[in-house]
Amino acid sequence: MRTASKVVGTLEALKEKIESKTARVGIVGLGYVGLPLATEFAKAGFTVTGIDVQPAKVEGLNRGESHVQDVPSAEIAELLKQRRFRATSDFSAVRELDTINICVPTPLRKTKDPDMSFIVSAVDQIAKYFHPGLLVILESTTYPGTTDELLLPTFEKLGFQAGQDFFLCFSPERVDPGNPTFQTHNTPKVVGGITPACTEIGTLFFSQALEKVVPVSNTRVAEMVKLLENTFRMINIGLANEMALMCDGMGINVWEVIEAAATKPFGFMPFYPGPGLGGHCIPIDPFYLSWKTKQSGIEARFIDLAGYINGKMPHFVVDKVQNALNTHGKPLMGSRVHVAGVAYKRNIDDVRESPALDIILLLKKRGALLSYSDPYVPQVKLDEIALTSRPLVESASQADCVVIVTDHSDFDYQGLLDSARLIVDTRNAMKSFPSEKIVRL
């Protein structure tokens, strides 16, 4: 059994390393979460080792080439030059690290239950080179209980005790790709530990590089925070989408309704309808909560209903396109339909869970001849469809209908209006262009 003095010694030794910025920082997973976090700690004066299982990604980073839109290649090149950052695929680097942040994907299986395989794989690799004094922080979005049910037993099986020999926390990622105002360094960072000592050291660690840290009492609270944030958005977007469906049936402009409602200075927060949910969080995270609560015999009715409504929106959009073409005397089958924007949100290059992909497949299934424009996504491949982005205005002049799915600010909307025969606008991107050519969601 360890003495209290040894426990204090381990904690104080790690504190001293963190405060002096001599702690060797490790980031497992160099995607849209891990790479920005790695660069923030490197810019703060730490030496950072990024670990990723994709060799091409590692090789590109070590050449100074960033694959993440929010991290400029010049920044990576400068950190390499200063020897503040390096990337590797070799988990044996863990032997030399003092802290490790796990930022790996946590997708859903087709059955809507969590796929923990990326976390399990990363934790198993870390366990091979685990050593006393290590701070491990899981950042991958997951269900409440993951940290203490999955990570804690793996590390304690090695003979170490959390809060004494090592420190274990959960801190939910809050990355919003393409957000010009809130990025990794100035988005408040929630952190909760297995023990109070874990929370203390995790808070100290993040405070060295990030503007604000919000400690909570334990890992389950921290895990639940992220799920609440994204479930809140998913449900309210679902409400906005259901309102759009109702307004469409009654011939009411839903955008005008929301704009007027938003003038109320209290008790209302505007959410907007769209072609469906996309991205790495909102379409996925609430189902982690739904899955977990069902294990406890609790039915997550709001989540399931909002998921159903949001899932209907790509079908609603395709129906809109078909009906709009009908009013112009054209069937959808054989018509040339051009999709404007395939990224899941404006001004980014990420197509994960993008509703545009569902819309393309549904249009293809109904016999449409497809093309698309997206300045951020040069190619799209799904099932048997392979498309290359084309110039918007030129393509619009050749199409029977243009569907605005992603409202990129780079698009020439005036040129689109001048050249297109028919436009279905799912984002209210052309609200400043009144025209009979435009059919709004």
Q: What is the mean pLDDT of the chain?
A: 93
**Of 405, 404, 339, nearest in space to 368 by CA:** 339
Cβ proximity of 440 and 428 under 8 Å: yes
pLDDT reported for residue 296: 77
- Per DSSP, 348 falls in state -
Residue 129 pLDDT more than 90? yes
Instruction: Give the Cα separation of 166 and 175 in Å (integer).
Output: 27
pLDDT reported for residue 112: 66
Residue 295 pLDDT more than 90? no
Give kind and range of the element (H or E) at residue 357.
helix 355-365
**Residue range 317-323: mean pLDDT, rounded:** 97
**Residue 99 — φ and ψ, nearest 5°?**
-135, 150
Per CATH, 4-217 and 233-440 having the same topology is answered yes
Does the active-site annotation cover 281?
yes
Instruction: Give the Cα separation of 200 and 204 in Å (integer).
Output: 6
Residue type at 322? Q
Residue 114 pLDDT more than 70? yes
What confidence category does residue 209 fall into, taking pLDDT thresholds of 50, 70 and 90?
Answer: very high
**Residue range 356-361: mean pLDDT, rounded:** 96
State in words which class domain 4-217 has. Answer: alpha beta
Residue 111 pLDDT more than 70? no
pLDDT reported for residue 170: 98
pLDDT reported for residue 277: 83
pLDDT reported for residue 1: 44
Give kind and range of the element (H or E) at residue 231.
helix 219-250
Q: To 10 degrees, what angle do helices 73-81 and 34-43 make? A: 50
Q: Map out the domains of the chain as residue ranges.
A: 4-217, 233-440
At 63, list the tokens.
Answer: 């050449």
Give kind and range of the element (H or E) at residue 6.
helix 4-19
pLDDT tens-place string over residues 219-254: 999 999 988 998 899 999 999 999 999 999 999 999
Instruction: Give the Cα separation of 156 and 410 in Å (integer).
Output: 52
Residue carrying structure tokens 């078909």: 322
Residue type at 35? L
State in words which class domain 233-440 has. Answer: alpha beta
Residue 279 pLDDT more than 70? no
pLDDT reported for residue 203: 98
Residues 103, 169, 247, 281: which is the catalytic one? 281
**Residue range 147-154: mean pLDDT, rounded:** 96
